[in-house]
Amino acid sequence: MNAPAGLRREEDFRREYEEVLRAFHAGTMTPADRDRWYGRRLTAVLRHVTARSPFYRRHLAGVDVESVTPDTLHTLPFTTKEDLRREKYDVLSGTPAEASVFYETTGTTGPPTPCPRGPRDVFTSNAAVEESWRRLFRARFGDRMPVVGLMGPSELYAFGDVFGAVSAALGTCHVKIWPESPRVGFRTALRLIGELGVEVVVCAPAMCLSLAKAALHHGHDPARLPISAFLVLGEVCTPQFAANVASVWPGATVYPALYGSQEALCVATGAATGQLHLSALNYLVELVDPDTGRVLGDTGTGELVLTMLVDGIKPLIRYRTGDLVRITPATAGAALPGPVVEVLGRVGDRIPLGSATLLPAELEATVLDGVRGCLGYQIVIDERDGADEVTVRMDLLPQAGDPDALGAGVAARLRERAGVRARVVADPGLDPVTATGSYVSWKAARILDNRVEADGASLVARRVAHRYAVTT
């Protein structure tokens, strides 16, 4: 009996994609091959969205989609987060019933938006994660597979399904340990980590420190727990933060593992080098000036704009992510083949401070450079006598060394970077909002700016902070 036409189309797409993916990962994909792939996929997606998405049918009205190429893509209008919130289900190129699984955004800073995924979306997005983990685990563990602990943010998020499916594909045991869940909690999470020999924890960066703090509270020595690697995602993670985590978890390494979102899927995946590489078969990327929208090219620093190349349930065209990134070409022999993506923070999280405007990654790197044994930090900004003044509150372990010397170093770096007065205060009772991390935003978790009224994100972070207390 012949297979239905829809099933045949999916099988044909999968075969073609797998062939291109093998060439991409093997390094045998030529620039001409890449350009042909981009051209074909862009046309397929534009046909798809204008035929099936009510929003894009209106948004791209009058556009001859057959004539649009990667070189002329910049002439199309942007898609914004406000578009997604306003249009909701009309952005979809299909109905939720046609999807394999339904997710939605957390809705912390605006109405939640639907993010269903079909078989094609899941297959192409997970393929990049699977190859990333395969190579990273080989570099870290050789021929054996570790036990993986997944610590996700919510049940309506793709986190658990994506990493669960990738773990299954690689043949590694995984356990969904969600310490923020009232039915699990930190005590149970730590018990399972010890009993199961969990060597890899997948989580947000802030969770690395919350888990250490919880371990000490519940009588565990982090050095005696089996964790060997943290694969982190969802917020800024600078090399300085990673080095501090390694001092709190002796023998463990922090790897940025994934950059993406509910609506844009898995945009970049991590390598054993600590770099993130673009899932280049699935996206055309542009960088734009975050204030003017002027196109800056596809390398350098700017706000990331994505055009998705897989004609699934919710492909987005020229989607302004609101994220500031730096993109550089991968070097010959790189751990993964796509361009390197460095995530610098949200556009809205830029901090005017003294004589400078700092990106989240720049501010975190300045504060944590050389800091060890820190279980958490919060940057408090006040204005005194017309000048900005910074107090960095830190929860410090004994191995952090002399707090006065540490504070002098932080103060000197902030004075040099932004011309502000600064001091460090040791605070073992650090505000739980600092652990909310990626649930709302890095800025809402890390910055208490007393110069201005609290914005919506900061208020949300304060409301949910009790969920992140490690002592319950």
Kindly report, residue by residue over 215-239, the tens digit of the pLDDT.
Answer: 999 999 999 999 999 999 988 899 9
Q: Find out whether 329 and 310 touch, Cβ atoms under 8 Å.
A: no
The 10s digit of each residue's pLDDT in 262-295 is 999 999 999 999 999 999 999 999 999 999 999 9
Band (168; pLDDT cuts 50, 70, 90) = very high
Asked if residue 420 has pLDDT above 90, the reply is yes
Asked if residue 106 has pLDDT above 80, the reply is no
Nearest-angstrom CA–CA distance, 231 and 191: 20
Classify strands 374-384 and 356-358 as parallel, antiparallel or unpaired. unpaired
Asked if residue 107 has pLDDT above 80, the reply is no
pLDDT of residue 105: 85
Closest CA relative to residue 428, chosen from 351, 375, 359, 370: 375
pLDDT of residue 469: 65
The 10s digit of each residue's pLDDT in 173-200 is 999 998 877 778 899 999 999 999 999 9
Residue spans of the domains in the chain: they are 1-346, 350-468
- Rounded to an integer, the average pLDDT of 340-360 is 92
Asked if residue 156 has pLDDT above 70, the reply is no
89 or 461: which leads in pLDDT? 89
pLDDT of residue 135: 97
Band (155; pLDDT cuts 50, 70, 90) = low
Classify strands 147-150 and 374-384 as parallel, antiparallel or unpaired. unpaired
Look at 38-47, 65-74, 248-257, 438-447 and tell me which has the smallest mean pLDDT: 438-447
Q: Find out whether 240 and 248 touch, Cβ atoms under 8 Å.
A: no
pLDDT of residue 257: 94
Compute the mean pLDDT over every residue in the chain, rounded to the nearest whole number: 91
pLDDT of residue 5: 66
Band (23; pLDDT cuts 50, 70, 90) = very high
Same fold: 1-346 with 350-468: no
- Rounded to an integer, the average pLDDT of 372-389 is 92
- Rounded to an integer, the average pLDDT of 129-144 is 96
pLDDT of residue 355: 92
Asked if residue 439 has pLDDT above 90, the reply is no
Asked if residue 6 has pLDDT above 90, the reply is no
CATH 3.40.50.12780 given to domain 1-346: yes
CATH of 350-468, one of 1.10.1060.10, 3.30.470.20, 3.30.300.30, 3.30.2320.50: 3.30.300.30
Band (470; pLDDT cuts 50, 70, 90) = low
- Indicate the pTM of the whole model: 0.93
DSSP 362-394: HHHHHHHTT--SEEEEEEEEEEETTEEEEEEEE
Q: What sign does the CA torsion over 59, 64, 65, 68 have?
A: negative
